[in-house]
């Protein structure tokens, strides 16, 4: 698979028009999350440099920023302009799915000017991966929200161990066809992979 650096006008490019999915990935948060979290509470008890680093990256910051980026993309009208655009969002959707109802309630169509709710846009244009967060409560929420056909299995290797991956798939409370869809068939369909 060819790795492509996305340019500013990616969606208007030949590749963008070919409907290749876009995978949103985290980038380092440039601020001081520890200071932001502790401000006004106890300035004498700021997190250590290690805690601040972890908080700003893989513990919270990356996921927060990726979720905000996807929300901005949704609010920009990109999915109305590019109705075939599909996005892959890791870590169970980077927090966003858990706030969709609140967003719909507080950002109605009259305010956003979009053609559909943020929840509907998410369900129609986003594929979600666990990215190594092998947790049944998260799975159940996403499954109920989106169904098996919008879940792509992934791990967060080398950042997380592969221990328990097969057990997680095997233990999902869905039928064999849905397990296969999550494990590999959805990715085959979305990415055009043939055996």
CA distance 194 to 66: 30
Name the DSSP class of 146: H
CB-CB neighbours of 93 under 10 Å: 31
170 catalytically annotated: no
Question: Looking at 32, 80, 104, 156, which residue is catalytic?
Answer: 156
Residue carrying structure tokens 């666990």: 130
Residues facing residue 24 across a β-bridge: 89
Q: In 3D, which of 51, 57, 16 has the Cα closest to residue 34?
A: 51
| Residues classed as catalytic | 156
């Amino acid at each position: 698979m060819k790795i492509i650096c996305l340019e500013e006008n990616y969606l208007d490019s030949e590749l963008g028009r070919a409907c290749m999915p876009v995978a949103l990935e985290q980038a380092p948060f440039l601020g001081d999350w520890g200071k932001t979290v502790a401000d006004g509470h106890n300035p004498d008890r700021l997190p250590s440099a290690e805690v601040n680093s972890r908080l700003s990256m893989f513990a919270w910051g990356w996921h927060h920023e990726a979720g905000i980026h996807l929300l901005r993309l949704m609010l920009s009208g990109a999915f109305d302009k590019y109705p075939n655009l599909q996005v892959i969002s890791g870590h169970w959707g980077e927090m966003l799915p858990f706030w969709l109802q609140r967003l719909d309630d507080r950002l109605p169509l009259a305010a956003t000017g979009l053609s559909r709710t943020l929840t509907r846009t998410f369900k129609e244009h986003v594929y979600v991966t666990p990215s190594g967060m092998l947790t049944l409560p998260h799975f159940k929420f996403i499954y109920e929200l989106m169904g098996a056909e919008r879940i792509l299995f992934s791990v967060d290797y080398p950042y997380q161990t592969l221990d328990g991956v097969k057990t997680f798939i095997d233990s999902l409370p869905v039928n064999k066809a849905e397990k296969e869809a999550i494990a590999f068939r959805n990715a085959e369909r979305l990415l055009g992979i043939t055996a």
